[in-house]
Amino acid sequence: MNEPIKTIPYGISDFANLRESNGYYVDNTWGIPLLEELPYQLFLRPRRFGKSLLLSILRYYYDINAQERFDELFGGTWIHDHPTPSRGKYLVMCFDFSKIEGETLEQVQSRFARNTKTVLNGFVRRYQRFLPAGTMEQVIDAQGFSDGLDVLMENLADSDKKIFILIDEYDNFSNRLLAQSSEDVYRALCHGTGFFKSFFSLLKGANQVITKIFLTGVSPMTMDDVTSGFNIAVNISPFPKLATVCGFTHDDIRTALNYYADAGRFPLDREQAFQLVTDWYDHYRFSILDEKQVCNPVLLLGFLFRCMAEENFPRDMVDPNLQTDYYKLRHIVTTNGQLNGKFHALETLMTDGSVTVELIESFQAETLTKPESFLSLLFYYGMVTIDGIEGHRLRLVIPNLTMRQFISEFLRHGYHDACRVNDRSHELANRLGDLAKSGEWRPAIELAAGAVRETLSARDLMDGEKAVQASLAAFLSLGDAFIVHTEHPMNFGFADLALRPDFNVYPDLRYAALIEVKYIKKTEPVTETAKATLLAAAKTQLNHYMEDHHLAEEWRLKPLGPVTLLRLCIVFHGEELLFAEEI
């Protein structure tokens, strides 16, 4: 009898649930022995990257209560054939800090206290048969987590039973407070006598019984801020052997697509699906010493689920849950209604395509004003990733279209808040749609240029050319007709702006555009000679890009396809649009 087709475990982070429901699973249990090498470890990956599932695997593997389910849960995996001596030897206490809500420090503290005590009470109930008589009752009767943990540690001091602490999303609510409240609130949480710092101090002080701790999160910032309370966890995130422990490689992506296609569940074009997935969710590199790239596994599973449910490619490739997560961060680019250095770092990414920086593995929130700290934070959030090494510094790039879209939204939010730019998003999206369908480019360009003028007129134009390109790219990213690239590689050159038709949303689009942006400083006079020189340079560059054969194939350009490529030169004098011409 044929085996049943595996389900898509989108949204499932419990390993037992995944196995019981016959969910599709890429075996990463080969990483378990590597995770045993150190007692206290911190593992970081961007939001919704499979960290919770990894934690759940560790829970079932080490839990003394799950010993008899080893064959059921781990049969067919690497670790089933290569078990370690520590399998099934621990009492496991699991915390999930993503469940702790609250808009104020007081609300968070109250819910944190309630959550940690609930976890502790559940722990002693679950392991009652392994605890000295009366321990469960004493712990439950204790006033709070601290008192209860003291009772538990005292009663287990002479026992051979050891505790493994698993903490999922350790920095979830601290990051939320930092983004939504103020640095003062965040500092009260993590410094001095803050309850969060005290929590880690308790765990550190119980190291005779709590012999293993594994934490997941997004960035090392919160851990660094509570460092004097818990300074023994090693950040194993960049270890090259663990580069692919969370995430799908290109081989994994193709294997998944082939599996469901061969089973008759995926009727769509596999190569187009592969291209969409790699464009939108892929190209994350987490180790300097390992060049392997991985795709966000949760977003890939969501894509497969939607494709099979709708029997078509999704019109919107951005997962709405991920969008909600990153939307909370958009406030960090302004300070007291003014654009800050973080904003300018994003502009550099949009215009130059990359930044070089010395990646910081440990930093505090108060240092985020420094470019290297902020760019390091972007790396941990997955908004930039490693592209190469230049001396002692890393070259960081935007990994995929999802993150490029988020950065564009961050920029537009900054323009709206700090520069009081009118919200023309709906109108501009419509004009861009007209451009893609009929080739009427001037209304869209002039409307976007008007928004750029409002943006730049409220700013100090120390680097006007970069500001023009970044804001123009952000505004032209509105709507769903085009996928906008900046510094797009073409025929051994780089186009300032490339407007690629999104055939996934509108398969009948007929126009694409390459745009060269030229800039004359506001303090410089405009002469006919200068205008002619800029126009000639733009024409030479655009004609050179036209010779790129890959561009013609990918964009379905005439005569290989129905798409006409518009070549536009846009010249600004300060914040004013001087002229825009089609080449």
pLDDT tens for 467-489 read 899 999 999 999 899 999 998 88
**What pLDDT sits at residue 229?**
47
Extract the tokens encoding 576: 């004013």
The residues facing 514 across adjacent strands are 498, 567
Q: 296-329: buried (b, 16+ CB within 10 Å) or exposed (e) per residue?
A: bbbbbbbbbbbbeeeeebbeebbbeebeebbeeb
CA dist 370 to 374, 404, 470, Å?
6, 22, 21
Q: Quote the mean pLDDT of the chain.
A: 90
d(CA 553, CA 208): 64
Q: Per the structure block, which two tokens stand in for 153? A: 């540690």
Which pLDDT score, from 0 to 100, does residue 301 have?
Answer: 96
Verify cis geometry, omega within 30 degrees of 0, for the bond prior to 83. no
d(CA 239, CA 562): 48
CA 429 to chain centre: 26
Please give the Cα distance from 537 to 525 (Å, whole number). 19
Q: What is the pLDDT of residue 423?
A: 67
Question: What residues are paired with 566 via a beta bridge?
Answer: 513
How many Cβ atoms are within 10 Å of 423's Cβ, its own excluded? Answer: 11
Cβ of 273: how many Cβ atoms within 10 Å? 21
Kindly state the average pLDDT of the residues 443-466.
84
Q: Indicate the range of 110-119, 148-157, 452-461 predicted with least confidence.
A: 452-461
Percent of the chain scoring above 70 in pLDDT: 95
pLDDT of 1 strictly over 50: no
Q: What is the pLDDT of residue 191?
A: 67
